[in-house]
Amino acid sequence: MVVLLGDKCAEYGGQVDVEAHIETCSGILWRELEHSGDEILQLVIQCAEELPHKSTLYATLVGLLNLEDEEFGRKVVDTSHAKLQDALDSENCNKIRILMRFITVLMCSNVIPPSSVIEVFETLLSSATTTVDEERGNPAWQARADFYIFCILGCLPWGGLELAERVPDDLDRVMTEIEAYLSIRKHIFEPAFLPFETSADDNKDGGQDFLEDLWERVKLLCEDGWKVDSVPRPHLAFESRLVTGKSYEFRPVTCPEQPDQPSPSSDVMIGRQRHEAELKYPQRIQRLHIFPVSRTEENMKPIDRFVVEEYLLDIMLYLNGCRKQCAAYMASLPLTFRYEYLMAETIFSQLLLLPNPPFKGCYYALVIIDLCKALPGAFPTVVAGAVRSLFDRVTDLDLECQTRLILWLSQHLSNFQFIWQWEEWLHVLDLPRWSPQRVFVQEVLQREVRLSYWEKIMQSIQKASGLEELLPPKDGSCFKYADQKGDQSEGVEFSLSKELNNLVKDKKTSREILSWVEENIIAVHGHNVSIDVVVQTLLHIGSKSFSHLFTVLERYGNIISKLGSGQSNEILVIEETSKIFQNNTQMAAIAIDRMMVYRIVSNLSIVTWVFSPSNVEQFHTSDRPWEILRNALDKTYNRISDLRKGVISVEKSVQKAIEAKAKAQADLDSAEALLEAAESEELQGQMAVKLKRLKAAVDRTKQEESSEQESLEAKDALLSRALSENEVLFITLYRCFSDALIKHLSVDLTEKQEDVLGTDQREQMSIDSEEPSAMDADDDERRNQRFSKSNGLHSQAEQQWCRCTLGQVRALTRKYATEIWPHIDKIDAEVFTGDTHPSIVKAVYSALRRPV
């Protein structure tokens, strides 16, 4: 009954009378307090933390229970204080935010006096103001200061009215201090972390960052008398009773000290600290503005948008383990206005949040699917409108966001029989191969084929005749030795491939096959031919399914590994793998990924191959090379993460071994002292036996400690080696990017011209338009003309290639910033020298939040 408080359910007779729910629940809990007080306390606190959209209900429930049992009310306050202090110390953003809101609504129920809430606000305000002070603080940690102010402002829709009535002067002082803080903090504008490149000019918030926007909404709320329609106020129904309850002082909390400013100060040191701060205190949402404001904020006040966003984000955060319940709560918020458009925009804002969304994209896909089923008459239409709006602006959409949107849309359509109005997008066939809209449709269709089969997707686009040319070829494998050619050399290779195939069918061991390869192929035809024949033949055998592929690589991967030793040979192996699966990007990506897992090829070889001429030409027309590159970097990152976890685990084991040895030695010393003091021979004999056992225990613990220390040294060595390899990897990656881009970008790019990159304006199209825009091609042309003018480029294809490649530089830097920062000095010294084009440096630095 506590968990379902306020929900329409059988436990409460199927009614949604919140006040009656609270009255019923408090009566039941009051009778159980004497026997199960601690369990009820923990349950109520847990519900307030994990169902924060119902925090006002739980605060009112606590207020009523406080009338019957003052000890229970005091324990709630003490527990909330302990949890908030622990959250501040551990820098747990979500718990800090939720607990701040909970103590605010406890104040509304007269469990905590308003002076205590004001004191908490001022503690956070003082810390924030000190942090952004150039002399006393450390402005690199502004992210934490902004978060503290956000928490204070975020509490006011829930408790501003009570604070204004009971401590108006204190509230005015807090508001004045917040305004003073906003006047000295640095305005945040980071184009590399905005979903749309045109956000600088097309900013619907008038150039405000998220904190400034919230401040404006709170000021309007203050002018409106602190009345918020979207925040339920169940305590008002019990106000005459609650005012008679006892309030408990909320003890002062302390904020952690900010790190000292780096000395000597440099942009690298400041950048590292700022990156660390942003990781610990990330921005919660970046509004997309997919729909017109008249749709998303229809019949609601400005502050209501913030409140509803908080509800939706909290539900997705705390109910991520039970998606159906998550969708049910999101679809049934107790609001008096429609919020489907705002709900869709909030979900997409999370899906496309940079640098990383809180959860994987498949989670948001499942939530959207369940909402479409829960609200069949409204939400599917809204989602379709969002897709159309995003598609209209896909040219300006960040490349990483494009990839996420493609993955989401293909997964979403796979759950609805791949039904979509494809004829709306037929116009992309008239666009160039490199057009972002054409590439988007092409990649969605190719991802759909992965999730189903070619014939099914072909059937789904029958009404859009012509789109089939964007589908991948039906035949997945391109085995070059499938049919014997007339040429003699090809005939010999065909025979060798056939013989190798027979050896595999006869289940010869890898050692036997390797001996045959050395005698019959390498000795006669050379190393390159052997790689060609072996890789093509083995992968053709494994091309029937993923399990066939994995089995072949597990059994015969060592043959390919020995033939492909050395980076040049590894690149040949990757090239042959790409050729045989040239019509099946998924199999190519998985095969290369598996080869990296089995150490057949290295990440350096994959990076070098991705920047080969044949792949560079595809940078703006296909996601194929980028997918393979992302997989290699992900695998490297995961390997290092596993090594770090292993080191931490062994360090704990070492500490336990040291403590066990110290205890065993202390027991031994104590026994030796007793033996010396023993007077009788019997006692001496007993102590001698015990002494022998304790010495054995000391020897055993010393061996265990030595073993754990050796294990730690081995894992440290592996981690150090992996980090060194990682440094080489990123140096190679940026060098490849620089070499590829410098051929297309002009060298004399001025600072003024550089600012033109990504600042073009496009009018957001109405989602009501069912017809595709006839201006898309013209918009792309005008946009590319401006890019061309600023970079000395000529063909539109070349301009789009540069945009895509620079966009991938930003995306990859942004994603792996944590791994890049430790090596930035070496990267600067070896890559970002005076010869590096300014656009490349700007792309990397902006993605690292580093001053250019």
Does an H or E element contain 613, and which? helix 613-616
Label residue 694 by pLDDT band (50, 70, 90): confident
Q: What is the DSSP string of 517-566?
A: HIIIIIHHH-HHHHHHHHHHHHHHHGGG-HHHHHHHHHHHHHHHHHHT-S
Distance CA 96, CA 281 (A): 11
Task: Over range 700-713, report the average pLDDT.
Answer: 92
Please name the residue ranges forming H helices in 415-480: 436-451, 454-460
Q: What is the mean pLDDT of the chain?
A: 88
Distance CA 26, CA 17 (A): 14
pLDDT at 543 over 60: yes
Residues whose CB falls within 8 Å of the CB of residue 778, separated by 6 or more in sequence, listed in order:
none
Question: Do residues 463 and 510 both lie within one domain?
Answer: no
Question: Do residues 311 and 347 both lie within one domain?
Answer: yes
Question: Do residues 418 and 557 both lie within one domain?
Answer: no
Residue 756 lies in a domain: no
Residue 516 lies in a domain: yes
Residue 471 contacts residue 445 (beta carbons within 8 Å) = yes
Maximum average pLDDT range among 631-640, 672-681, 688-697: 631-640
Comparison of pLDDT for 775 and 633, the residue scoring more: 633
Question: Do residues 461 and 314 both lie within one domain?
Answer: yes
Residue 597 lies in a domain: yes
| φ, ψ (nearest 5 deg) of residue 360 | -65, 155
pLDDT tens, 554-563? 999 999 999 8
Label residue 651 by pLDDT band (50, 70, 90): very high
Question: Do residues 157 and 32 both lie within one domain?
Answer: yes
Residue 556 is predicted with a pLDDT of 93
Residue 272 lies in a domain: yes
Residue 813 is predicted with a pLDDT of 97
Residue 571 contacts residue 563 (beta carbons within 8 Å) = no
Residue 847 contacts residue 819 (beta carbons within 8 Å) = no
Residue 389 lies in a domain: yes
Q: What is the DSSP string of 283-341?
A: -S------S-HHHHTTT--HHHHHHHHHHHHHHHHHTTT-HHHHHHHHHT---SS--HH
Residue 602 contacts residue 635 (beta carbons within 8 Å) = no
pLDDT tens, 620-631? 999 999 999 999
Q: CA neighbours within 13 Å on the CB side: how many for 193?
A: 27
Distance CA 710, CA 707 (A): 5
Question: Do residues 215 and 79 both lie within one domain?
Answer: yes
Q: Which of 593, 613, 635 is the last residue of a domain?
A: 635
Question: Do residues 269 and 318 both lie within one domain?
Answer: no
Residue 511 lies in a domain: yes
Residue 692 is predicted with a pLDDT of 84
Burial of 482 (0-12, 13-18, 19+ CB in 10 A): exposed
Question: Do residues 354 and 405 both lie within one domain?
Answer: yes
- pTM value is 0.89
Task: Over range 77-87, report the average pLDDT.
Answer: 97
Residue 685 lies in a domain: no
pLDDT tens, 90-132? 999 999 999 999 999 999 999 999 999 999 999 999 999 999 9
Comparison of pLDDT for 494 and 391, the residue scoring more: 391
Task: Over range 37-61, report the average pLDDT.
Answer: 94
Question: Do residues 407 and 445 both lie within one domain?
Answer: yes
pLDDT tens, 205-219? 447 889 999 999 999
pLDDT at 777 over 60: no
First to last CA, the chain: 57
Cross-strand bridge partners of residue 397: 196
> For the chain, how many structural domains are there in total?
3
Q: Which of 574, 606, 635 is the last residue of a domain?
A: 635
Distance CA 723, CA 728 (A): 9
pLDDT at 199 over 60: no
Q: Which of 615, 635, 655 is the last residue of a domain?
A: 635
Question: Do residues 309 and 400 both lie within one domain?
Answer: yes
Residue 757 is predicted with a pLDDT of 39
Q: Rg for the chain (alpha carbons), in Å?
A: 32
Q: Which tokens go with 206?
A: 């008038």
Comparison of pLDDT for 408 and 293, the residue scoring more: 408
Residues of the domain holding 497: 492-635
Question: Do residues 180 and 239 both lie within one domain?
Answer: yes
Residues whose CB falls within 8 Å of the CB of residue 217, separated by 6 or more in sequence, listed in order:
302, 303, 305, 306
Residue 810 is predicted with a pLDDT of 96
Q: How would you label 141-167 residue by residue, b for 16+ Cβ within 10 Å and e otherwise?
A: bbbbbbbbbbbbbbbbbbbbbbbbebb
Question: Do residues 353 and 271 both lie within one domain?
Answer: no
Please name the residue ranges forming H helices in 623-759: 624-677, 681-742, 751-754
Residue 559 contacts residue 517 (beta carbons within 8 Å) = yes
Residue 411 lies in a domain: yes
Residues whose CB falls within 8 Å of the CB of residue 193, separated by 6 or more in sequence, listed in order:
286, 354, 355, 814, 849
CATH number of the domain within which 89 lies: 1.25.40.180
Task: Over range 416-443, report the average pLDDT.
Answer: 95
